[in-house]
Amino acid sequence: MHLLVCGGTGCKASASDALEDKLTKELEEKSLQDEVQVVKTGCFGFCEKGPIVKVLPDNTFYTQVKPEDAKTIIEEHVIKGRKVERLLYLDPETKMHVTDSKHMGFYKKQIRVALRNCGFINPESIEEAIARDGYAALAKVLTEMTPDQAIQEILDSGLRGRGGGGFPTGLKWKLTAKEKADQKYVVCNADEGDPGAFMDRSILEGDPHSVIEAMAINGYCTGATKGLIYIRAEYPLAITRLKIAIDQAREFGLLGNDILGLGFDFDLEMRYGAGAFVCGEETALIHSMEGERGEPTFKPPFPSVEGYLKKPTNVNNVETYANIPVIFLKGANWFNKIGTEKSKGTKVFALAGKINNVGLIEVPMGTTLREVIYEIGGGIKDGKKFKAVQTGGPSGGCLTEKHLDTPIDFDNLIAVGSMMGSGGMIVMDEDDCMVSMAKFYLEFTVEESCGKCAPCRIGNKRLHEQLELITKGIGSKADLEKLRDLCNVIKDTSLCGLGQTSPNPVLSTIDNFYDEYLAHVEDQKCPAGVCKDLMQYVISHDECVGCTACARVCPVGAIAGERKGPHTIDSAICIKCGACIEKCKFNAISIQ
């Protein structure tokens, strides 16, 4: 018998360590330590009801277990085999105790659709992919459906593009399908560029065949016989595994001429990007593949009409493709039951920042931020206070406490001033300065702007300069309004998605953290204590014993004082390196 005790940070905060000790001691007292082991586990994703104890092999799931409950569990459950009713999970709907975790499906907030094979199959083995239904959807579509029927299935599923824009995938296919041309192309956009997002890389590294299969289906539906995968050269492992997968698919006759003897030809090629953010925009991506500069061009003409080499081209993102085979195998009606009214299916998010369970998760659309951050994510690191979460990377916005219960889907996120983007979620706590955060993202966009249109090239540069000044405490309330105006102009007049969304981090932080901006410009203070120029190192004369350690370590000679007398820091000289604080044994130096 095993007693699994949750050792996730959330449960630790509610005394799971003490509980574990208590259980071990109780077992020793009863001389049961050889028959029953206490084992510490990672997070169960149910921190709200922690600490959790799971008993194996009967799968009993106890919630909110206190150290003093240890005795009861051992005496009742372990010795007498009777479950401790009061510690069982109470189903909020039926008000019944749930006796084993196998019947607690509702507590599993995640469902893995796009990630179905990641972490299960050997990505370098087509056999394992086929054993888990790889290429079965392609076979089904080729034998049972006309291209129109297959497109209709995708339309019915309600699948929307996972790259960020959320454009209906079926409609995109339909637009390319209706064009007449001697050659059409389907493209996989694997130019994942948002800082903090890595779901596309994980899918390509973990399940490359799902993308290859979906591209072949896309080819059949749109009438394209050639597919191109545009992937950034910084993803060497994903590239290697894709190449292996493509070779295997060719060897098995699942790519190439006359696939499955059904007269359908389709083959794939790889194209490497140099890692420019703007090349995630489909027209820039297409130009880059053609060997031109990676610059966007005005739409229309849309790629479905005039794309790669001026031929009709359908571009979809990696995660979008990974969903396609499941839709055909399970049916559009299975898929469109997951999610919200206008956003169907699941979304993969990359959780990063000040969160305990950093990682990849996949949740149904409509899951709230609170569920993602506090239950699946295990809450904020080191017990700090949640401040904001940035979704959609540099194009998105930050969401705060008041948005925690907003169901996440394409439209809701836009309504609250952010966006889905590719699914990066960077969590920030009370120690993060929102002005600095906005500045960080602007730095990224300034660097990544291709420079073609003035609003993005010049406007973002000016925005960044303005933010730089604010972090130094220079500016006024009126400047904040100017900042807002400039943001709106850039949004309205930029050529492509990069510029149209780049001011979002600034706008959303001004909206949600106006006081913090004001504190910088009016009081010359950074409430989070991040902006160096607004901090002052001060020596408390009550604590200082005059040991001179700080004065000796100061690299710029900013500290003066008599030996055995109180010392003082000259703020005009101090570079805020923090060396003095580290050296002081008397905690006499503080930041104000």
Q: Quick check: 574 binds another protein (CB under 8 A)?
A: no
Q: How far is the CB of 228 from another protein (least distance, A)?
A: 23
CA nearest to 207, candidates 112, 334, 271? 112
CA nearest to 568, candidates 584, 589, 553, 591? 589
| Residues 359-388 interacting with another protein (rule: CB under 8 A) | 359-362, 376
Q: Quick check: 120 binds another protein (CB under 8 A)?
A: yes
Q: Quick check: 103 binds another protein (CB under 8 A)?
A: no
Pick from 108, 482, 552, 564 the residue near another protein by CB under 8 A: 108
Cβ count within 10 A of residue 144: 10
3-state secondary structure 531-562: CHHHCCEEECCCCCCCCCHHHHHCCCCCEECC
Of the candidate spans 64-72, 249-257, 279-287, 465-473, the one that interacts with another protein by CB under 8 A turns out to be 249-257
- Specify the 3-state DSSP secondary structure of 586: coil
| Tokens 């006081």, located at residue | 515
Asked whether the beta carbons of 214 and 329 are under 8 A apart, the reply is: no
Distance (Å, whole) CA 294 – CA 282: 10
Q: How far is the CB of 551 from another protein (least distance, A)?
A: 42
Pick from 92, 95, 180, 261 the residue near another protein by CB under 8 A: 261
Asked whether the beta carbons of 366 and 331 are under 8 A apart, the reply is: no
Nearer to another protein, 40 or 576 (CB): 40
In angstroms, the Cα distances linking 204 to 115, 208, 209, 210, 322 are 10, 5, 8, 9, 9
Pick from 122, 333, 540, 571 the residue near another protein by CB under 8 A: 122
Pick from 14, 19, 26, 44 the residue near another protein by CB under 8 A: 44
Tokens, residue 191: 């130019």
Tokens, residue 344: 């169907």
Sheet holding 346-353, edge to edge: 359-364, 346-353, 424-429, 386-391, 397-400
| Tokens 């900013």, located at residue | 558
Cβ contacts of 334 within 8 Å, gap of 6 or more: none
CA nearest to 116, candidates 423, 360, 316? 360
Pick from 71, 178, 330, 384 the residue near another protein by CB under 8 A: 330
Q: Quick check: 62 binds another protein (CB under 8 A)?
A: no
Distance (Å, whole) CA 518 – CA 94: 49
- Residue ranges of alpha helices (H) inside 356-406 are 369-370
Q: Quick check: 202 binds another protein (CB under 8 A)?
A: yes
Of the candidate spans 133-141, 413-421, 495-503, 531-539, the one that interacts with another protein by CB under 8 A turns out to be 133-141
Nearer to another protein, 250 or 491 (CB): 250
Distance (Å, whole) CA 138 – CA 144: 10
Binding mask 143-172 for another protein (x = CB under 8 A): x-----------------------------
- Specify the 3-state DSSP secondary structure of 387: strand
DSSP state of 306: S
Number of residues that bind another protein (CB under 8 A): 70
Nearer to another protein, 167 or 272 (CB): 272
| Tokens 């902006």, located at residue | 531
Q: Quick check: 299 binds another protein (CB under 8 A)?
A: no
Q: How far is the CB of 39 from another protein (least distance, A)?
A: 4
Asked whether the beta carbons of 66 and 19 are under 8 A apart, the reply is: yes
Pick from 17, 48, 58, 133 the residue near another protein by CB under 8 A: 133
Pick from 41, 72, 406, 568 the residue near another protein by CB under 8 A: 41
Q: How far is the CB of 144 from another protein (least distance, A)?
A: 9
Q: Quick check: 113 binds another protein (CB under 8 A)?
A: yes
Distance (Å, whole) CA 388 – CA 434: 9
Q: Quick check: 121 binds another protein (CB under 8 A)?
A: yes
Q: Quick check: 18 binds another protein (CB under 8 A)?
A: no
Pick from 23, 26, 45, 368 the residue near another protein by CB under 8 A: 45
Tokens, residue 542: 């009550």
Q: Quick check: 337 binds another protein (CB under 8 A)?
A: no
Q: Quick check: 225 binds another protein (CB under 8 A)?
A: no
Of the candidate spans 21-29, 134-142, 452-460, 537-545, the one that interacts with another protein by CB under 8 A turns out to be 134-142
Q: How far is the CB of 330 from another protein (least distance, A)?
A: 7
Pick from 62, 89, 135, 374 the residue near another protein by CB under 8 A: 135
Q: Which residues bind another protein (CB under 8 A)?
A: 2, 4, 6-7, 37, 39-46, 54, 56, 105, 108-113, 115-125, 127-128, 130-131, 133, 135-136, 139, 142-143, 198, 201-203, 205-207, 235, 237-238, 251-254, 260-262, 326, 330, 356-362, 376
